[in-house]
Structure 1
Amino acid sequence: MSISSTYTTILETGYRLFAEHGFEKTSMTMIAKEVNISKPALYYHFVSKESIIEVLFDEICKSIGFENFFTIQDYTNDNFEEKLISDGLRIILKQNEDIYYTRIMNQYQALGYRNPTYSRKLIDSLDGFTTGFVALLQHGARIGAIEDTDALVKAQMLTMMIDSMDNFISYGLAYHYEAIWTKAVVTIVRGGTVR
């Protein structure tokens, strides 16, 4: 096994074990045993459990970033609404496919209450969605797919929808997430106003 594949296996194993047992109850010994390497070999890659937790969080934040789901240049006047719906639904599907995602994100949210580094990264991730949606909506206005009004407010609404659905899914609530996302997008794209 190469260094890079061992490193990746450690992170993947940590992801699963942290989700199953929590940060506190998962030990370096447990991780080493699951990866089938010695503790010194594990310490060669990561100096502590905290370093695994930190690197893993950075990787998760990268994997859930706006640009992983929405590619602005792929949006046209003809496909804007449909593509915004389908790209947003990919986030929901990804979360539903990963049985560990909700549990580990709950761990990081709890950690964020004690450690401002983690809460800042969570906030940065949400800000990245808002910034991305602003750019996407401005692109939509430039190509004539949507009206050129309230891009920031609309972007914040979309970000709030994504984050709220993420939280509601984590609570196990069986809402109609696809219909909710579709309705939100259609309202925003077609210029629905709040009265």
Structure 2
Amino acid sequence: MNTTSTYTVILETGYRLFAEHGFEKTSMAMIAKEVGISKPALYYHFLSKEAIIDVLFEEICKDIGFASFFNVQDYSKDNFEEKLIFDGLSIISKQKEDDNYSRIMNQYQALGYRNPKYSRKLLDSLDGFTVGFVELLRHGASIGAMADKDTLIKAQMLTMIIDSMDNFMSYGFEYGYEDIWTKAVKAIVLEDAVK
């Protein structure tokens, strides 16, 4: 039995079509046809294409937020390094699995140049990573997994590395992202670990 709602199918279809054709070239008629509903039925759920773009952006931002990948309570002294590496690698994995992610995020970044609400939300997402990493690193220090030193700088560096890898992947660079993240975690966070 398929329990996926029409609303969800519309968002998933919009995500794919926007990634494939761009915001400008994707029409409400295309989305309705692909979903298998009439245009009036589509308008029942979303008043405009812009409404779909907005809701989709909110959903993507929730999905890619710090808390989607890192849960501070799951970190212990014994697993801190390994878990930080693993959780960061899960971001890379997720992006590699979704061919549409980079294309649609590039479009949202372009929208951000014209509409500050998109750029603000993207900046808030990055800031959320910095805040999250600060909390995670302070937790690491409190449980004796690492020294309590330069926490904000380390959090900012980890955020910059995550964002840079995201950007480089979206450009199609075939770098050793797993090795980059692993070395970064070891060099930045655990260089002065309490043993």
TM-score by length of 1: 0.96
8 Å contact from structure 2 (residues 76, 140) kept in 1: yes
**Pair 74,28 (structure 1): closer, same or farther in 2 beyond 3 Å:** same
Partner of 2:28: 28
**Pair 133,188 (structure 1): closer, same or farther in 2 beyond 3 Å:** same
Shift of residue 189, structure 1, vs aligned partner: 2.6
Within the alignment, does 1:70 sit opposite 2:57 as a pair?
A: no
Q: Please show how residues 144-155 of structure 1 align to structure 2 within 5 Å.
A: 144-155=144-155
Partner of 1:129: 129
Q: Please show how residues 1-195 of structure 1 align to structure 2 within 5 Å.
A: 5-191=5-191
Shift of residue 57, structure 1, vs aligned partner: 0.1
**Pair 44,3 (structure 1): closer, same or farther in 2 beyond 3 Å:** farther
Segments of structure 2 that go 5 or more residues without pairing to the other structure are none
> Could you tell me how far apart the structure 2 residues matched to 1:2 and 1:92 are?
30
Shift of residue 22, structure 1, vs aligned partner: 0.1
8 Å contact from structure 2 (residues 154, 189) kept in 1: no
> Could you tell me how far apart the structure 1 residues matched to 2:62 and 2:41 are?
26
> Could you tell me how far apart the structure 2 residues matched to 1:138 and 1:26 are?
45
Segments of structure 1 that go 5 or more residues without pairing to the other structure are none
TM-score by length of 2: 0.96
Shift of residue 2, structure 1, vs aligned partner: 9.6
Structure 2 counterpart of 1:90, one-letter code = S
Structure 1 counterpart of 2:40, one-letter code = P
Structure 2 counterpart of 1:87, one-letter code = D
> Could you tell me how far apart the structure 1 residues matched to 2:118 and 2:188 are?
31
Shift of residue 60, structure 1, vs aligned partner: 0.2
Q: Deviating runs (4+, > 4 A) in structure 1?
A: 1-4
**Pair 3,176 (structure 1): closer, same or farther in 2 beyond 3 Å:** closer
Structure 2 counterpart of 1:182, one-letter code = T
**Pair 52,20 (structure 1): closer, same or farther in 2 beyond 3 Å:** same
Question: Secondary structure of 1:100's partner?
Answer: helix
Shift of residue 188, structure 1, vs aligned partner: 1.9
